[in-house]
Amino acid sequence: MLEQLCGFDGIDMKRIYLDHASSMPIDPRVLKFAMPFLNKNYENPSSIYSGGLETKRAIEESRRKIAELVNAENTNNIIFTSSATESNNLAIKGTALRNIGNGKNILASAIEHISVLNPMKELQKNGYTYDIIPVDSNGLVDLDRLENLLTNQTIITSIMYANNEIGTIEPIKKISKIVHENGKYLHVDATASAGRIPIDVQDQEIDLLTISSNDMYGPRGASALYVKQGLKIQSILPGGGQERGIRSGTENVFAIVGMGEAARLAKNDMNMESSRLKNIRDKLIHEILKIDNAYLTGHPVKRLPHHVSFRFSHIEGESILLNMDMSNIQISTGSACSSKTLEPSHVLLAIGLKHEEAHGSMVITLGKSNNLELVPDIVKVVKETVNRLRKLSPLSNLR
């Protein structure tokens, strides 16, 4: 099996890790490839002596691999950053500030990640207007509403390729056509989808695209922003002029080199791995929906191959997570970046759930260490957890 070929059988199989949207282990092949740049080839890539030139070449090779993953026009379109959050901030703020003379309106869907929504809110302090595009009950962007909100003053519109909490894949090519006919630039947050499903920035006419290393089995500390040829953006981190002056700071060579190799492997393995994960995903959906008052969240068909998400009536997602963890199964109850607040997920509220419904969510994101043989064990623990919590819940009418 793929997980054995990749060395993922080395993971403690007594625990079942199902939170790959939050963090992924580094692929052993990636770690082996990048390790020399952590403990041997440590020279600064801005140095012009031989060691520095070698690390610079490694960075450029990584840039090429990432460009190939998303079919960028050339390697110059790829800007390295430290995280998806930084890439999103650079895309939103950098584009809006650099093009301020062409308009001061910005748009985002109601289910964007907070690292997109918060920079847009911050731009309001500088006089920008900020509008939210609604989604339907499956999380698909309302295309008519998008078209109505766009004007010739709309500098940037941000729509994620696929949602990390409910798994819904957006019709990016249709969205791109609407944005370019009525507004200006489209930013796509592909953190949850790059390396999972095919992305072609040229065919889909995407202007800016966020890609994350750790979300495709690469090291933490690296991300990238694709910027379409000819699009001007402003640096939000000025300094020594690295990354074409757009993102200054000494490069994290180990993480960048690892990200490039992770992108190459993701491109090669994508079809086989996606097919494998879909089988597990669909089996989990079929079995877990047999539980009374269990509901699938997100689109039933147009969803990421590794993504399973539900809500359960009368119980809390945090309790589900902690009870599952006691059985050594790690799941999520929403975005890892939002988990420090007790407020219900803005994504689940945006698809029309009530506050009490949004609190009972469970998100499973599959990876290379998971297989079909684990499904009965997962389903058994989910059923036991839901039944136990409902017996304890004062809200439950099922006792």
CA gap 348, 272 in Å, rounded: 31
CA gap 138, 296 in Å, rounded: 10
CA gap 349, 199 in Å, rounded: 28
Q: Which of 5, 13, 337, 392 is catalytic?
A: 337
Residue 258: both structure tokens together: 């690892």
Distances in Å between the Cα of 201 and the Cα atoms of 132, 135, 222 are 24, 23, 20
Residue 34: both structure tokens together: 């990048």
CA gap 177, 140 in Å, rounded: 16
108 in Cβ contact with 186 (< 8 Å) = no
**Closest Cα to residue 84, out of 192, 200, 188, 211?**
211
Torsion angle, alpha carbons of 145, 146, 149, 151, to 10? -140
CA gap 389, 383 in Å, rounded: 10
**Closest Cα to residue 123, out of 94, 86, 163, 149?**
94
200 in Cβ contact with 71 (< 8 Å) = yes
Say which residues have a Cβ less than 8 Å from residue 200's Cβ, sequence separation at least 6.
70, 71
270 in Cβ contact with 296 (< 8 Å) = no
6 catalytically annotated: no
Residue 347: both structure tokens together: 């994504």
Tallying the residues shown for the chain, one arrives at: 399
CA gap 333, 128 in Å, rounded: 33
Distances in Å between the Cα of 131 and the Cα atoms of 88, 164, 178, 180, 286 are 17, 21, 16, 17, 37
Active site residue ranges? 337
